[in-house]
Structure 1
Amino acid sequence: MKQALCLGVVAALAIAGCAPAGSQSPATGGKKEISFLVFETPNLTPQYWDDAIKRVTDEHPDIVVKKVVAPSAGERNGYAKQLLASGQLPDVLQAIAPAGFAESGNLYAWSDEELKNYEFPKSNPLGGKIYQLPYNTQPTPLVYYNKKLFADAGITAPPKTYTELLDASAKLKAKGITPFVVGGGGKDSFAAGYIWIALVGTDVYRTQPDFLVKRRAGQVTFSDPAFTKATRKFADLVADGYVDKAGLSRDYPSTERAFLDGKGAMYPMGSWFAASADANKPPFDIGVFAWPTDDGKTVVPAYTGGGPIVNAKSKNLDAARTFALEFNQNAANNDVLVKTDAAIIAIKGYQPPPMGPVYNETLNVLKSGTVVNAFTVETGDDALLPGVGDKAFAIAQQIIAGTTDGASASRLLDEEWAKAGGR
């Protein structure tokens, strides 16, 4: 099986036209060639990546980039691990969690000088070192809602407390309107997890911001009361008929389309959705609110990171470092990323281009609340153990399917943690 996996990875790389990491060849005229792992979404299209790469290589004509594309956005971390196992880790990898790579010496640690232009230069450290450029802040998730469906159900304002959220959900259901649109089908299991991520942020991380640090130390478990309460809330929303179980058959693009087509009133999703909402305006207005807390205080799960990581063993390490830094700090690249993926750029002095109302409201919600980590998205010392994030999404699918309840889901997550080598 392992041999077949490696052969499959080699074949995939051959299809992508990727030379071995950090090579030079007659075809490149002796220029420094690097490979770059990316992933595609409805916002981040092949053309987006090609154009962004070209902006950097136009400034650095001595660098030639071979693009490698992950099978899907949700599979990009697992795919990167396959490439590492086959000895073909790309030179630069975009938005790949460094945990599981850095510990074995495979990643380059950025210096303070290289990080001086970033707003939050010490985001997501692993062993005190920064391996991923922290260039983009993403609230994950906020709740995007259909103002027309809210009005049809007699809801005059977005809920501020969890009790108000339940009341709004009941009113929507009574009118035959699906309260929550979710996804999780096919390769995009991550799209099933956003309600859970929101609840862990409001009910666990708000009071225990170091929960996963303690989990790694064996001082807490996922079966502890606070985490189980958050998970039970997720299961209860499903049991009450507020979550669209049909979402389990939808991939990520289809899930977004379902909300834009008016098939549900609320869409818990990362801030990148604002780009689609503004660019593909549906026949209704879209609002934004933070997932409500029990006491009404605004809490926003968010993540600052998402930049490239660099293969420390690249044969063209200087070229890889130069490309990674320029890819993130190129103003034109960032302008396009803001427009296409609603990025909130965390680089000093950067000013975004004029944006639409959903993006601006997203930014206002982020600024109005207490920011906590986003469960499953962490990539530093407070991250889930390698591989456990994918297991969490699979458990979220089970919760939506109604095949497990909150306490059982917490126990399942503890079991997966133990299988991954955790205490």
Structure 2
Amino acid sequence: MLKKFMALSASLLLVGLLAGCGGNNNAANNGAGTNGAGSASGNAGSAKEVTINMFTASPEYTEAFNAYIAEYKKVKPNVTINLEIMQADYNTVLKSKIAAGSTPDVFQTTAGGDIDTFAEYSADLTNEPLAAAMTDAVRSNMTSTDGKVLGFPVKGNLFVLMYNKKLLADAGITEVPETVAQMQDAITKLEAKGIKPFANAYKEWWVWKHILQHYVDAAAQDAGTDPKTLVADFIAGKTTFKDHPVMYNNFFEFIDTTVKYGTDKPLERDSNAQVSDFALGKAAFMTGKGAWDEEAIKKITPDFQLGIMGYPVSDKLEQSMIITGADQALRINKDSPVAAETIEFFNWLYTSEYGKSWFSTVAKVIPPIKAAPLPDLDMPKQMDEILKTEKSGDLSVIYSLDTFHQKFGELMQAYIGGSKTKDQAIDEIQKAWIQFGSAAQ
């Protein structure tokens, strides 16, 4: 067991947000359900003193978390929720807790492949109200290979190339670039106006996977397969970057372009610096990020004219797609002495009126559940409009573990830093995919 967890990544994706919750008197009628740990205790609704320990990795949402904790206290005065939030080294500490037999009552992991990695520690939520509340796409991200819902989303997510509408208009760009050729034309126009095209955060290992997944989706389409199958083939060593021109050529050419026409010292720019650069109008496009950044941008520049688009991964218009889904999951420790009470809490969270509104009005994230309103923000609204006429790309980032993605990010940093050639980086990426990409390793 310990050997298995020593193979996990040193840190989780830092963009995961804790799922919302809330409270009204409807919640008092929501039981813990009839499945698994939810029915393990007949005292789930009693007045006994209960303490639930949660361990998550989203410090930027501390105020929002405290809001729903306070709200639930009104519904269940006997329940105390201790929230421990860690950003750096989260996954290392989580591994240590599990290895020491002190697994938190609630903990956070990535979705997709890591659903299986942590399966033996996770309560089966398949028949719980919270599972029924999820959208179909999100529920699939929380489901193990044997068909069990073992996690629940911390939020819905959106991965895009962001752009500054005003800067594009100032450069005479009337339509967002959807192909490689159109992007090159846009860069030329921006440069002519003295506008830096790209704001990057290449100091962060996790931004790289957000970009790569757009090229994985295109490569799968070109190969006549689906992204999940293609990623499995990479992990099995059945295919490599060199078999897919959109990855071997287009991806690296895009990265080279963002470095050449991007903000200075890309390996020294972290996520906060990138957001600041973009929000202050120092660059027209922001790479590797998603919906979680909008509020930070608007805090710096309240009237910022924000736009979203798919990456121009090729010369095929249809391959420029935004990507939606849920890439982060909360898990309930199946062996927790308060598993029943914890499941009761999250069932309430996902079905109460306060819980539904928490996503949009308090956390201001894209709700991962049905019948919940979108937040009053530009990115979710634009996403909703785009998806009325276009399909979403596959959240292919979840088909590999973060153990691989962290190594991938480090290798890409070495590439742009000049210590590895393109082919050297690709060879090591392929080895890393085989070694770290799957929970089965």
Of residues 237, 242, 248 in structure 1, which corresponds to 2:257? 237
- The one-letter amino acid paired with 2:428 is L
Q: Which residue of 2 aligns with 1:317?
A: 339
> How far apart, in 1, do the equivalents of 2:109 and 2:389 lie?
26
Note if contact 2:356-2:373 (Cα within 8 Å) is conserved in structure 1: no
Partner SS state of residue 34, structure 1 = strand
> How far apart, in 2, do the equivalents of 1:41 and 1:368 lie?
36
> How far apart, in 2, do the equivalents of 1:135 and 1:284 lie?
27
Aligned positions, number: 383
- The one-letter amino acid paired with 1:60 is K
Residue 163 (str. 1) matches residue 181 (str. 2): yes
Q: Which residue of 1 aligns with 2:127?
A: 112
Q: Which residue of 1 aligns with 2:212?
A: 196
> How far apart, in 1, do the equivalents of 2:400 and 2:379 lie?
31
What's the CA shift string for 1:257-297, capped at 9, x where partnerless? 12101121101321222334455545542222222242112
Of residues 190, 197, 200 in structure 2, which corresponds to 1:172? 190
Note if contact 1:95-1:308 (Cα within 8 Å) is conserved in structure 2: yes
Q: Which residue of 2 aligns with 1:123?
A: 141
> How far apart, in 2, do the equivalents of 1:404 and 1:174 lie?
32
Aligned-residue offset at 1:397: 2.5
RMSD of aligned alpha carbons: 3.1
Change (3 A) 1:310 1:403: same
Q: Which residue of 2 aligns with 1:397?
A: 413
- The one-letter amino acid paired with 1:161 is T
Partner SS state of residue 322, structure 2 = strand
1:211-290 mapped onto 2 (5 Å cutoff): 211-226=230-245, 227-238=247-258, 241-268=260-287, 269-278=289-298, 280-282=300-302, 284-290=304-310
Partner SS state of residue 359, structure 2 = helix
- The one-letter amino acid paired with 2:69 is I
Q: Quick check: 218-227 or 410-419, which moved more?
A: 218-227
Residue 374 (str. 1) matches residue 392 (str. 2): no
Aligned-residue offset at 1:156: 2.1
Partner SS state of residue 384, structure 2 = helix
Q: Which residue of 1 aligns with 2:106?
A: 92
Note if contact 2:141-2:327 (Cα within 8 Å) is conserved in structure 1: yes
Structure 1: runs of 5 or more not aligned: 6-28
Q: Which residue of 1 aligns with 2:386?
A: 365
Partner SS state of residue 382, structure 2 = helix
Q: Quick check: 403-412 or 156-165, which moved more?
A: 403-412
- The one-letter amino acid paired with 2:234 is R
Partner SS state of residue 199, structure 2 = coil
Q: Which residue of 2 aligns with 1:13?
A: none
Residue 82 (str. 1) matches residue 100 (str. 2): no
Note if contact 1:201-1:375 (Cα within 8 Å) is conserved in structure 2: yes
- TM-score, length-normalised on structure 1? 0.79
Larger relative contact order (CA 8 Å, sep ≥ 6)? 2
Q: Which residue of 2 aligns with 1:24?
A: none
Query: Counting helix residues as a fraction of each chain, which structure ranks higher?
Result: 2
> How far apart, in 1, do the equivalents of 2:284 and 2:344 lie?
45
Aligned-residue offset at 1:35: 0.8
> How far apart, in 1, do the equivalents of 2:174 and 2:363 lie?
30
Of residues 69, 74, 85 in structure 2, which corresponds to 1:58? 74
- The one-letter amino acid paired with 2:249 is K
Partner SS state of residue 196, structure 2 = coil
Change (3 A) 1:200 1:339: farther
Change (3 A) 1:283 1:105: closer
Structure 2: runs of 5 or more not aligned: 7-46
- TM-score, length-normalised on structure 2? 0.76
Taking only the aligned residue pairs, the percentage that are identical comes to 21
Note if contact 1:307-1:328 (Cα within 8 Å) is conserved in structure 2: no
